Structure 1
Amino acid sequence: MYKLLLRPIFFAFDPEKIHHFTFSIIKFTSKIPGFKAFFRSQFVMEDKRLERHLFGLTFKNPVGLAAGFDKNAVLFNELANFGFGFIEIGTVTPEGQYGNPKKRLFRLQEDQGIINRMGFNNDGVEAVIAQLKNKRCQIIIGGNIGKNTSTRPEDYTKDYLTCFKALHPYVDYFVLNVSCPNVQSHAKLNDRDYLEELISEVQMANTNYDKQKPILLKIAPDLNDGQLDEIIELVKSTNLDGVIASNTSTDRTGLKTSKDELDAIGQGGLSGQPIKDKSTRVIQYLSKKSNKAFPIIGVGGIHSAADAIEKIEAGADLIQVYTGFIYEGPSLVKSINKALLKY
């Protein structure tokens, strides 16, 4: 139904506008008596065999929703009825910010991909906390945190710490987003020495709490082997809890979309099917080269159960979807979980 009826209608409109419209529809229908139960009956699979135990947490199933979809934590209660094992909110910054100028979200339908240059648009950490206080479901929530665009390089760590401390009581794990190609002054976030400093500061803040939260690093899919070796060493030297592989890509190689159209779109991070193999390669390299020394959450181009299993066979312990959820619809999560039970 989704791909035949709803998707053609949704795809006839501006991607960002239809994103917010869809949120409103899900919010509205979820309040109608019986609809929550209907959604759960259609999309949720309850089976102990799907459970995964990582970071001291129990995930009901290994299929999560990646950051960027529910940036401001306004829909996670409703999205929990679509079968996810966990939901990652954000990227959250200390202060709310508009992000980059519109238009900033583009579909590549021939490639089953999306290009975005949103620029960490969000309502700010206090607004997100207000939403998280209304949590009515048992789903695991991840907090993806970043810096404000206007923040000076010497204050980057302060931004991450502000979000970390504020969100600590409300999320189950944290992700340091240092690999988004759509934010300014990005170079420092790729510097190994700075990453060690950032991770160390956040980990030190974590020790101030009775219950410490897992901290993960989200990396780019465009890293070469030498850079991936540095990530492995970084995780080892800092005792980081895990890695999310991967973020969006700046590479446009092999796309079916015409060069003229790509030039018209301009800069931004590419997600979806075009980066499937790149993210799988990163997962496989990290897993094999480190001898499975740390957990990996695999994300990038998962549009089917086969794509999900490919990520797991490459070394992913959990997976996340985003672009595939938009292209394939909510049935994708259940189809992956069904396949995992057989697998």
Structure 2
Amino acid sequence: MQYVSESTARDAVNKASTDLFSFVYKHAVKPVVFNQAPDIAHDQMISFCRAAGNIPPLMWLLRQMLDYTDPSLESEVMGLHFSNPFGLSAGLDKNCDLSTVLDAAGFGFETVGSTTSRPCAGNPRPWFHRLPEYDSMMVHVGLANDGSEQVIPKVEKAYTKAASMAMSISIARTNDDQCGDIDEGIEDYRISLERAAGRSSMVEINISCPNTHVGEPFNENPDNLDRLFTSLDSVERSQPLLVKMPLNKSWSEFKDLLDVLATHNVQGISIANLQKDRTGLSVPVQWAGGLSGGPCYEGSNALIANTYREFASRFAIAGIGGVFTPEQAYEKIRCGSSLVMFVSSLMFRGPQQISVFKRGLVQLLRRDGFENVSQAVGSGL
């Protein structure tokens, strides 16, 4: 009885804290942040979280306030234990500056990067434009990061220190003037994977960044993809490996890529990257980049569902794109996602979204008679 009482008290504190965070972010923080240029706001957020992560009492308080837990959220995916299925997608924490804060807030995992074999300055700024009417950001970063030689040791340190959060490293091809032919691109990926071997919970290979000057040669030609993973297969590693897939493919084209990956040492598929199709959206033509958030939701769900139907016994699926409510997260799970990643929701709704998602998902699972999130995966098909 005492345990039940303590659990009920913690739940009440978490609910009140989450509601308070939501109110403060909506009425006090967001107006200030959105009054700044998004590039400036992004850099300030990274700096703030980097500093906050070095204050242990603050991190303890954050965990007490936001880290909602429930046994029904725990699962085993690709041989790894996850305290919950929710993770930060690649693209925000490029150099592993947020891990301490995310762990304290109760994320199930985070994906750092994408990082590249050489330090990369990225594309000319601005990198971001807000599209609040679509719950979206126009993103044109171009893989800016400090390089995998610097980033991966930081991930390894976070991986060993995290209380409950799994760590993933996203690896991409360097976007700079040294890029050459396909062989050079393969070597670029291989260098970073060799650096990452054994130093994180999992690795994601990003073959779908839409903002690089060399394009996406490894998802435009299945033969190129086969050559890439033939090389990567020979790198000894202990982690499961996922592949970050493009959104703007027909199912036939997408399946051709999956058929290639199914012949290699790949355990999971991340679906999907940014939306390149602006049809029906009022977006200034001079804004370069791909769309995050809302415009990705329907397309990614369709690809998740088709992938689950065809490859459920072969690949775990991490669903990405347009998750702003527990119901939207649950729909990705029902389509076949064992893991759910998000970024835009943090900026448009606030950091308490991780608690909102977890609490809401538990309620949806109980409503539908599931004892564990794993039982709900693919249940909508």
Kindly indicate whether residue 204 of structure 2 is the aligned counterpart of residue 152 of structure 1: no
How is 1:95-106 mapped onto 2 (pairs within 5 angstroms)?
Answer: 95-106=118-129
Q: CA deviation at 1:291?
A: 4.7
Q: Which amino acid letter does the alignment assign opposite residue 327 of structure 1?
A: F
User: Structure 1 residue aligned with 2:202, among 136, 160, 173?
Assistant: 173
1:264 paired residue number: 286
2:218 paired residue number: 189
How is 1:99-138 mapped onto 2 (pairs within 5 angstroms)?
Answer: 99-135=122-158, 136-138=161-163
CA 221–187 in structure 1, closer or farther in 2 if over 3 Å, else same: closer
CA 103–328 in structure 1, closer or farther in 2 if over 3 Å, else same: same
The 3-state SS of whatever aligns with 2:260 is helix
2:8 paired residue number: none
CA 127–187 in structure 1, closer or farther in 2 if over 3 Å, else same: closer
Separation of aligned partners in 2, 1:223 and 1:133: 34
Stretch deviating more after TM superposition (128-137 or 218-227)? 128-137
CA 32–233 in structure 1, closer or farther in 2 if over 3 Å, else same: closer
Kindly indicate whether residue 90 of structure 2 is the aligned counterpart of residue 67 of structure 1: yes
* TM-score calculated relative to the size of structure 2: 0.84
* 1:195-232 Cα shifts (integer Å, max 9, x gaps): 112112112112xx5xx211111111111021122133
Report if the CA contact (8 A) 2:142-2:211 is conserved: yes
Stretch deviating more after TM superposition (28-37 or 297-306)? 28-37
Separation of aligned partners in 1, 2:107 and 2:254: 29
Report if the CA contact (8 A) 1:292-1:315 is conserved: no
Q: Which amino acid letter does the alignment assign opposite residue 179 of structure 1?
A: S
Separation of aligned partners in 1, 2:167 and 2:338: 17
Q: CA deviation at 1:59?
A: 0.8
Separation of aligned partners in 2, 1:297 and 1:33: 31
Q: Which amino acid letter does the alignment assign opposite residue 229 of structure 2?
A: I
CA 28–185 in structure 1, closer or farther in 2 if over 3 Å, else same: closer
Kindly indicate whether residue 246 of structure 2 is the aligned counterpart of residue 220 of structure 1: yes
How is 1:1-343 mapped onto 2 (pairs within 5 angstroms)?
Answer: 1-32=24-55, 34-135=57-158, 136-138=161-163, 139-149=165-175, 150-153=178-181, 154-190=183-219, 191-206=221-236, 209=237, 212-255=238-281, 258-259=282-283, 262-265=284-287, 267-342=288-363, 343=365
Separation of aligned partners in 2, 1:214 and 1:129: 16
Q: CA deviation at 1:302?
A: 0.4
Q: CA deviation at 1:30?
A: 4.0
Q: CA deviation at 1:131?
A: 2.3
Stretch deviating more after TM superposition (156-165 or 126-135)? 126-135
Report if the CA contact (8 A) 2:171-2:206 is conserved: yes
Q: CA deviation at 1:328?
A: 1.1
* TM-score calculated relative to the size of structure 1: 0.93
Q: Which amino acid letter does the alignment assign opposite residue 68 of structure 2?
A: M
Is there any run of 5+ residues in structure 1 with no aligned partner, and where? none
Report if the CA contact (8 A) 1:140-1:172 is conserved: yes
CA 44–112 in structure 1, closer or farther in 2 if over 3 Å, else same: same
Report if the CA contact (8 A) 1:106-1:116 is conserved: yes
Separation of aligned partners in 1, 2:152 and 2:217: 28
Q: Which amino acid letter does the alignment assign opposite residue 264 of structure 1?
A: Q
The 3-state SS of whatever aligns with 1:264 is coil
Separation of aligned partners in 1, 2:271 and 2:286: 28
Q: Which amino acid letter does the alignment assign opposite residue 12 of structure 1?
A: N
Separation of aligned partners in 2, 1:47 and 1:195: 40
CA 193–103 in structure 1, closer or farther in 2 if over 3 Å, else same: same
User: Structure 1: which 4+ aligned runs deviate by more than 6 Å?
Assistant: none
The 3-state SS of whatever aligns with 2:233 is helix
Q: Which amino acid letter does the alignment assign opposite residue 116 of structure 1?
A: V
The 3-state SS of whatever aligns with 1:263 is coil
Is there any run of 5+ residues in structure 2 with no aligned partner, and where? 1-23, 366-381
Stretch deviating more after TM superposition (90-99 or 188-197)? 188-197
Separation of aligned partners in 2, 1:320 and 1:341: 17
Separation of aligned partners in 2, 1:166 and 1:271: 29
Report if the CA contact (8 A) 1:68-1:90 is conserved: yes
Report if the CA contact (8 A) 1:71-1:122 is conserved: yes
Across the aligned residues of Structure 1 and Structure 2, the Cα RMSD in angstroms comes to 1.6
Separation of aligned partners in 2, 1:254 and 1:279: 18
Separation of aligned partners in 2, 1:223 and 1:121: 25
Separation of aligned partners in 2, 1:204 and 1:33: 41
CA 234–28 in structure 1, closer or farther in 2 if over 3 Å, else same: same
Higher CA-based Rg: 2
Percent of residue pairs identical? 28
